[in-house]
Amino acid sequence: MPNWLFRLTLIHKRIDAEIEREKRRRVPNNFRLIRLKKLRLAVKDRLAAGMRRMRPA
């Protein structure tokens, strides 16, 4: 697994954990949740783009 792929996967997992932590709070911060979800989606898009580049033609 390339280093960049490993790092993006770790970042994605950390963001997932942070989203779950925020959801479990007594009063979740909805703006923070939206920001984290957008960030998670951006990381997921970068992962997908990188995987497409790695596939042999």
Unique residue bearing structure tokens 């957008």: 38
Q: What number is the average pLDDT over the span 47-57?
A: 85
Residue 57 has pLDDT above 90, yes or no: no
Write down the pTM of the prediction.
0.86
Residue 11 backbone phi and psi in degrees, to 5 = -60, -45
Percent of the chain with pLDDT over 70: 98
CA distance 31 to 47: 24
Give residue 1's pLDDT band: very low, low, confident or very high (50, 70, 90): confident
Q: Does 2 score more than 90 pLDDT?
A: no
